[in-house]
A and B are shown apart, each in its own frame.
Chain A
């Protein structure tokens, strides 16, 4: 039996592989050192690499991301952790105004090779300020690359690509996937950013999904297969670069598109994907496009309420049935 690894362990493994091959990779964040991170996604790094490579910070999101930027501009490849993606708002200036703009506004004089990692998404009952899917925040900002892996192997392969990237990458680790397990990829496994993956083939409808919405879409597809509806599931993996080509290629086979997004419908990434499809793939479609996305309310606490707000297998199945008979 092949070695397996959890998504949680894959985060630390992905970082460690890069730290071993490149001494300019350093980590900083709150509780990431001996504590191993509140989600244990940096467990073992402090022990292997020590305090000169793995730095505990105060609760100072602006200082964390600002310092990562200054270090990246001067020869390092910092990996900064923002504990919950909701807290990106505390350092949003750096992600909206500084990091994505500095190369452009200096006429290409500097590069900012950094990774900002963050625990994203709902499903764990953490309430409105610790549960949001905020990948769409970053998607509004030209100049940021956005990675959101769905499997342990992709965590490792995309972490390698993100750390090696000379561009800034916001790396969304989904809280709902941390405990999941999958095959341990071989050494030097790199998944190029901006390459979507068709994780299930099907001829009737394309489900374009990201991060925890990928296994959810796969579950929906299995249920639908029992009804004779074959869904193709595309794991986008990244929002920037957005692999529109793979989605359009899938639509050539299926002619129907549903996006499965955890972020709110209002301003969610699916809106941009759908607008490109409407522009460039209109003649491929045999039915209206549907978006299964978060409701446009803050994330509630109780399970029964949270399930009403974020996408579920049932919501995806219902949306597909609706399209199938169109």
Chain B
């Protein structure tokens, strides 16, 4: 990335980090209900990948997906309003934290059944090939998804049909509370499965936004050129527990400290300084990110709740929900 691109990536990661912090705080204030699966710590995967993709590529993510929605065009206000059950939410408050979607910018959903969206991404890639759009589809998923059947069915079908799809695993070392290494037969839960399907399986530092960008650009380019799918395993770490109810106490303190020293924002900030970007410009990016999220929180808080009549819309394409005459 050139300095301007890296600074933009840093600012977007800052927006994501602060949005997640806001989601956490709003939950504690009782303004976000249900649960949240925060992606603080995972920012570089979403921002690096997004920088490498075309705006019209298709992205599918998981219930830990706020960062992908934000990286693919959703605003913090739309996301926080969704979490806070407001009419202005990204999905009209019908989806919630686990289903952030912005179809108009190619962010085709966040799915909360582990692994289910990998075959969907295969289908979107199949569609891209059939229609000749030149698009690629990307499925982001956690390490836990590598042990579910849909993962394996998706990799095989994508390979057999040689489709333009990337499988990007965010390996944060824990499937939920259990270390992924305790329940997986191979050291790299995603990348080590790729050879079984005859596709490239690479590893990357998922906290290094430039490394992610480089890998995704290369593998997406290859897929776009008709050379088939690939798998990228990005090692990263979540700053919060698995979900709202989880303090993450099962993680050794030494491990947490080591990963916090390898924070994607800190790494990027240091790199910007190293490349001669003035401190004032970096601080300006921080301030803009903070101001954006502050304004988003206020706007979301001020937004109205959904009209209860909306509960009976959007089942069918005609907008309705009628199941009988």
Contacts and interface: CB of A to CB of B under 8 A. Distances in A.
Interface of A: 26, 52, 55, 57-58, 60, 62-76, 78, 93-94, 97-98, 100, 102-111, 113, 142-143, 165-167, 194, 240-246, 276
A51 B265 CA distance: 48
B58 A74 contact: yes
Contacts of A167: 316-317
B126 A71 contact: yes
Given A58-B156, A60-B157, A108-B319, A66 B118 contact: yes
Given A60-B153, A143-B315, A105 B94 contact: yes
B243 interface: no
Interface in B118-158: 118-128, 130-131, 137, 149-150, 153-154, 156-157
| Main secondary structure on B side of the interface with A | mixed
A171 B123 CA distance: 20
Nearest to B120: A70
Report, nearest first, the 9 A-B pairs whose CB atoms are least far apart. Answer: A66-B119, A70-B123, A166-B317, A67-B123, A107-B92, A70-B120, A63-B153, A108-B314, A60-B153
B104 interface: yes
Contact of A68 (B92, B123, B322): B123
Nearest to B99: A105
Contacts, number: 166
Interface residues of B, number: 55
A242 to B, nearest CB: 4
A67 B317 CA distance: 20
B116 A110 contact: no
B123 A244 contact: no
Contact of B109 (A55, A110, A143): A110
B156 A63 contact: yes
A74 B127 CA distance: 7
A241 B323 contact: yes
B154 A66 contact: yes
A58 B123 contact: no
A76 B95 contact: no
A143 B321 CA distance: 8
A106 B131 CA distance: 24
